[in-house]
């Protein structure tokens, strides 16, 4: 039951957007930590990401259906579905 509540909370936070935070697991407990790293938001196009952040350090080829592509930058990674951001992850 506790896991279901935690999952619902995390999904709600992800959908809410707006605030900039990262999910952190400390001693088995999930917490949200503020992130000051600028990174692209959900729905941003590949062209917009490259225009704002420059060329990525590494581009991985698309895999799966729908095609998921990953771009790595020094402080974050961006995951695209087709040509739109679905998630970005700030590196530690």
Q: How many domains would you assign to the chain?
A: 2
CA 85 – CA 30 distance, rounded (Å): 24
Mark whether 45 and 75 lie in a shared domain. yes
Q: What is the CA radius of gyration of the chain?
A: 14
Tokens 């957007």 identify what position? 17
Identify the pLDDT of residue 8.
52
Strands 58-63 and 84-90: what pairing?
unpaired
Could you read off the pLDDT of 38-69 as tens digits, one per residue? Answer: 889 899 999 999 999 999 999 999 999 999 99
Mark whether 72 and 92 lie in a shared domain. yes
| Residue span of the structural domain in which 4 resides | 1-36
| Average pLDDT score, the chain | 79
pTM higher than 0.85 for the full model?
no
Mark whether 30 and 11 lie in a shared domain. yes
Mark whether 80 and 52 lie in a shared domain. yes
């Amino acid at each position: 039951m506790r896991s279901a509540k935690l999952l619902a909370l995390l999904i709600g936070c992800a959908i809410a957007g707006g605030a900039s935070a990262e999910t952190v697991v400390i001693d088995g407990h999930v917490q949200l930590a503020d992130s000051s790293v600028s990174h692209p938001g959900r729905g941003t196009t590949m062209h917009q990401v490259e225009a704002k952040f420059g060329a990525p350090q590494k581009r991985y080829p698309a895999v799966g259906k729908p095609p998921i592509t990953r771009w790595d930058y020094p402080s974050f990674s961006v995951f695209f579905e087709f040509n739109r951001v679905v998630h970005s992850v700030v590196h530690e």
